[in-house]
Amino acid sequence: MKTAQELVNLLDGEGAMRWWRRVILFLLVGSFFSFYGLREYKNLSNPEAMDMAQLARNISQGRGYVTDYLRISSLTIVKEQTGGDAKIGGHPDIVNPPLYPVLLAGAFKGASLMGVPIQYVPKDKDVRYLPEIVICVFNQILLLVAVYLTFRLGKRLFDREIGIFAAVMLFLNELVWRFSISGLPTILSMVVLLCLFHALVSFRMANITENVNDTESIPGVGWTMGMGALIGLLAGLASLNQYALGWLVIPVVWYVMQGARSGRKILAGAMVLLVFGMILAPWVARNIMVSGLPFGLATYAPAVGTTKLGGDILERISTPDILVFYGPEFNEYPRKLLQNLAEVIRNGIPQMGESWLTICFLAGILLPFVKKGLNSTRFLLVVCILLTGVAQAATRTGLSGSGSSVHSENLLMVFLPIVFVFGSAFIFTLIEQINYELKPIRTLIVCFTGAVLSLPLWLALMPPATFPLVWPPYHPQTVSRISNFYRGDELFATDMPWAVAWYGQHAAISLPLNPDREFFKINDSISPIKGLYLTQLTLDRRFLSELSQFGSSEPSWGGIVTRFYTRGELPGTFPLKNALADLLPDQLLLSEWDRWRLVE
């Protein structure tokens, strides 16, 4: 048995102190997560986040890759592809890439095994939706992984001090924290890209020798093929998380071929492309089999935002020949690209992460490094950012115009950890130019710089605390209540089907383009529409230019809303005549009969 003095010596030793520091760090990080959750947590507000969440829940329940968010165009395309069956009861999702929903489904499955109800019905006084806390925890675990990988990358490329500074700045970035509670796949993309850059740096450094004729110290063919396969795998996973990131395989292959030794360049590049194609091929084949399109509805992303496909029209089209009837003129594609690219260069790249550390990275681009491999790695990063900026501009939709930086089309955000590594290196290079006689002064300057860079997060945590409910228009109890009015095989149309699918756990169809021809076409050919649920997304639009549509000969939802709210009547041919009174005037539910009397 150890004596008291021996125990004291054991706890006071160098190894014990190292473990004590880790325990204290773990407690501090855990406390910060809890504090941020209590102060800033909000329920999901992004349509894509709710869409992926309900898709992940369906996967975790064993239903397969099916969605309850029924886009009219998706129903029409699947019906055309299958010869008449829209598969409403188990409609295959042809919008979302699979990686994030599948991993989130695993998190849901694990949470359910621990007693957390994933099929949760919100109670009257709930302000937090329990399954969304699971999503938040899942993404914040990914954030911790990203912080650790950032530290390792900074330490490997430069030194331990730069790695720590870059990791801390990433952890204290306010926009990163907002993404971590958004339910979007951005943090997962960060982790995948960090792993990709770790593999690329390993490949590059292993092939660098002082003597170009030294063939004994460089890796063999098997290692080269293995690393090429790993790099191709990671590039493929990035594409399966966010389709636009698939373009990164082009500069990645160039970098691999540049880094490989003579005689192995083609082999290494071909291995990356081969594995990348093998990762994507099954998913592309599945999409073609289900919808006839390699990336589902995302295939039409370059056309969204043009004259005929503005707003959310793509999701509400009732013809499978989308480009025939709604396709833009050829000159609209370059016009959209150039207009959006100007916005990316003007605001997207300089404001990446909404941090001054990005400016430090941009300022240090022309600063040459002495260490071999650093200049080429930074050049790869710059090329990847520019290429992703072009992809972001070409595929931009209405989500980018929401007024917030937190959306899945903010693709540049995924490079933030690597940008912070090089930005931190620039800051430390400047500090090293000043010869401080006292080390504490240097440490004080580093700490002051970090405090200034993280100031947005500290200000965000100041009182008052954020209210969790995103109202209007999302109120989980109301959505769940309305969904309970309808049987599982009955559909109703709404302007926020993603919220009905997530909170109401009920299939809902997108709002048809108009209440006349399009409404009855869907009602007769796809499925009877038993109700109409309109929220502030429609009711809060501009009265003259959007709702009333004076001078238009075509019937519109705005016309129906205006007529109902001003005169209390509906068109004679419109089949949904009964309104739920206690939702008015904030929201509107119309049904063919007052079915809520049987439920309540």
Tokens of 274: 């081969």
Residues 488 and 434 in one domain: no
Say if 227 falls within a structural domain. Answer: yes
Query: Cα–Cα distance between 561 and 142 in angstroms, integer?
Result: 44
What pLDDT does residue 312 have? Answer: 86
What pLDDT does residue 292 have? Answer: 93
| End position of a domain, from candidates 426, 460, 494 | 460
**Integer Rg of the chain from CA:** 27
pTM across the whole model: 0.93
Query: Cα–Cα distance between 242 and 186 in angstroms, integer?
Result: 8
Q: Is the peptide bond prior to 334 cis by the omega test (within 30 degrees of 0)?
A: no
Distance of CA 351 to the CA centre of its chain: 18
Cβ atoms within 10 Å, residue 141: 15
Say if 49 falls within a structural domain. Answer: no
Residues 325 and 245 in one domain: yes
Positive or negative, the CA dihedral 212, 215, 218, 224 is positive
Which residues of the chain are modeled with pLDDT < 70?
A: 1-17, 210-217, 401-403, 436-438, 543-554, 599-600
Query: Cα–Cα distance between 423 and 450 in angstroms, integer?
Result: 12
Residues 439 and 486 in one domain: no
Domain count of the chain?
A: 3
The residue type at 315: E
Residues 241 and 360 in one domain: yes
Residues 389 and 498 in one domain: no
Say if 70 falls within a structural domain. Answer: no
| End position of a domain, from candidates 401, 433, 460 | 460
Residues 142 and 238 in one domain: yes
Instruction: List pLDDT tens digits, range 413-425.
Output: 999 999 999 999 9
> According to DSSP H, which parts of 316-355 are helical?
322-326, 332-343
Query: Cα–Cα distance between 246 and 97 in angstroms, integer?
Result: 11
What pLDDT does residue 488 have? Answer: 87
Say if 118 falls within a structural domain. Answer: no
Say if 48 falls within a structural domain. Answer: no
Say if 63 falls within a structural domain. Answer: no
> According to DSSP H, which parts of 121-185 are helical?
130-157, 160-171, 174-180
Q: Are strands 69-70 and 508-510 parallel, antiparallel or unpaired?
A: parallel
Cβ–Cβ under 8 Å, residues 389 and 348? yes
Residues 567 and 439 in one domain: no
Query: Cα–Cα distance between 294 and 284 in angstroms, integer?
Result: 5
Query: Cα–Cα distance between 5 and 576 in angstroms, integer?
Result: 83
Say if 200 falls within a structural domain. Answer: yes
Residues 454 and 552 in one domain: no
Cβ–Cβ under 8 Å, residues 77 and 317? no
What pLDDT does residue 215 have? Answer: 60
SS3 491: strand
Residues 423 and 526 in one domain: no
Please choose, from the candidates 422, 408, 405, the residue with its C-alpha nearest in 3D space to the C-alpha of residue 354: 405
Say if 122 falls within a structural domain. Answer: no
Cβ–Cβ under 8 Å, residues 403 and 347? no
| End position of a domain, from candidates 460, 492, 510 | 460
User: First and final CA of the chain: distance in angstroms?
Assistant: 70
What pLDDT does residue 377 have? Answer: 94
Query: Cα–Cα distance between 388 and 394 in angstroms, integer?
Result: 10
Residues 166 and 270 in one domain: yes
Cβ atoms within 10 Å, residue 113: 8
- What single DSSP character describes residue 319? -
Cβ–Cβ under 8 Å, residues 378 and 344? no
Element (H, E) at 231: helix 221-241
Q: Domain range holding 270?
A: 133-460
What pLDDT does residue 7 have? Answer: 53
Cβ–Cβ under 8 Å, residues 529 and 493? yes
Residues 441 and 498 in one domain: no
Residues 240 and 337 in one domain: yes
